[in-house]
């Protein structure tokens, strides 16, 4: 069984409200497009919607009961009138859509309803897109299509125009933290992850990654040596940072972690302890916060943001980091 309606409503209140209204008023569209970044609940909500359409004993007129035969079979992926299409290799082929059309030309096995979900709809080949378009232009009564995508701009405008488009918002840090805790992640780790990504999938992946655990230690070490002397900071860069943060994406994540430390120091100074992200390091950070002014913290945070911009503009990451370390140390400026 997936997440309940109430749990998913916390993640995507606007989307769930629209689906709830369409079910209660019996105004379900022939085709929906669920679009939004990865990890925002598109797949879980398409499953939930499918169950709501087939459920034998809806609760409150729209929530699937999860216990009837239809709900159970949809959860197990073996309902004869529910079809899932996913990329076969790199794309969704024309034949896959044609097979779906053949399937749907038959009468519903157990009801007059049929639902098909197209996962990664943006990966349809040209032939598949054109076949789907014909399908959407002449919808059978009782047939509902749910297309899922992270890249709606890749879909034919004519397909978009025939779908009711529901946009899935990135999860708020608060929603992310509670989702991560539900997934068994310690609260201290959840706080850090929620600041780095809006995607639940990505956060769970980072949490399981030894590279990421090591990355946090290196960033904290770099911050500590920054306060000592320029030479030691450069040694840490050469010895730890450059060996660990190799590609642009990794360096960018390292800068994000470094920025979080400076934000924490600022929260401590403003007496907003509840907003600290690195909770496990709060005692050490409180000591550090005593020795720096709010103005200086603000300058240092600006320097990190500037370094992130330079990185995106393809500046050499090694040179960018060396200049940043100089800038972050008292009285230095970019060379």
Place of tokens 């100089």: 326
22-69 confidence digits (pLDDT tens): 999 999 999 999 999 888 899 999 999 999 999 999 999 999 999 999
Give the list of residues 6+ apart from residue 142 with CB closer than 8 angstroms, or none.
108, 111, 112, 113, 114
33 three-class SS: strand
278-321 pLDDT, tens digit each: 988 989 899 989 888 999 999 999 999 999 999 999 899 999 99
Residues 6+ away with beta carbon under 8 Å from 274: none
Q: Which helix (H) or strand (E) holds 302?
A: helix 294-312
Q: Give the integer Cα–Cα distance in Å for 319 and 82.
A: 55
Query: What's the pTM?
Result: 0.71
CATH architecture designation of domain 209-328: Up-down Bundle (1.20)
Q: Take residue 128 and report the two structure tokens written for it.
A: 């598949």
Residues in the chain, total? 335
Residue spans per domain, the chain: 5-167, 209-328
CA 114 to chain centre: 29
Q: What pLDDT is recorded for position 247?
A: 92
What is the fold of 5-167? Rossmann fold (3.40.50)
Q: 1-5, 16-20, 237-241, 323-327: which range is least confident on average?
A: 1-5
Q: What is the pLDDT of residue 273?
A: 85
Task: Give the span between the Cα atoms of 86 and 96, in whole angstroms.
Answer: 9
Q: Which of 215, 153, 151, 187 is nearest to 280 (CA)?
A: 187
């Amino acid at each position: 069984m997936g997440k309940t309606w109430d749990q998913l409503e916390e993640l995507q209140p606007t989307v769930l409200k629209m689906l709830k209204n369409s079910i209660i008023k019996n105004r379900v569209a022939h085709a929906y497009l669920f679009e939004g970044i990865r990890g925002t609940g598109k797949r879980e909500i398409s499953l939930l919607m499918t169950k709501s359409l087939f459920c034998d004993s809806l609760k409150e007129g729209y929530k699937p009961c999860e216990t009837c035969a239809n709900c159970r079979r949809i959860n197990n992926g073996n309902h004869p009138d529910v079809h899932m299409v996913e990329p076969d290799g790199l794309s969704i082929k024309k034949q896959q859509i044609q097979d779906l059309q053949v399937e749907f030309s038959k009468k519903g096995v157990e009801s007059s309803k049929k639902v098909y979900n197209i996962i990664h709809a943006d990966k349809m080949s040209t032939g598949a897109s054109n076949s789907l378009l014909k399908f959407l232009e002449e919808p059978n009564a009782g047939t509902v299509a749910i297309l899922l995508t992270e890249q709606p701009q890749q879909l034919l405008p004519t397909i978009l125009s025939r779908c009711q488009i529901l946009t899935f918002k990135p999860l708020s840090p608060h929603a992310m933290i509670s989702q991560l805790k539900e997934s068994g992640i310690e609260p201290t780790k959840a706080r850090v992850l929620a600041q780095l990504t809006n995607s639940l999938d990505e956060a769970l992946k980072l949490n399981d990654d030894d590279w990421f655990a090591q990355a946090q230690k290196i960033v904290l070490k770099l911050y500590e040596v920054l306060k000592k002397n320029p030479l030691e900071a450069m040694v840490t860069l050469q010895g730890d940072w450059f060996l660990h943060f190799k590609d642009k994406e990794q360096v960018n994540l390292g800068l994000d972690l470094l920025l979080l430390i400076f934000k924490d120091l600022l929260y401590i100074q403003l007496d907003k302890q509840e907003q600290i992200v690195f909770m496990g390091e709060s005692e050490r950070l409180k000591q550090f916060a005593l020795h720096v002014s709010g103005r200086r913290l603000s300058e240092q945070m600006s320097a990190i943001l500037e370094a992130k911009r330079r990185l995106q503009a393809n500046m050499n990451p090694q040179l960018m980091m060396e200049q940043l370390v100089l800038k972050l140390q008292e009285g230095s400026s970019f060379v």
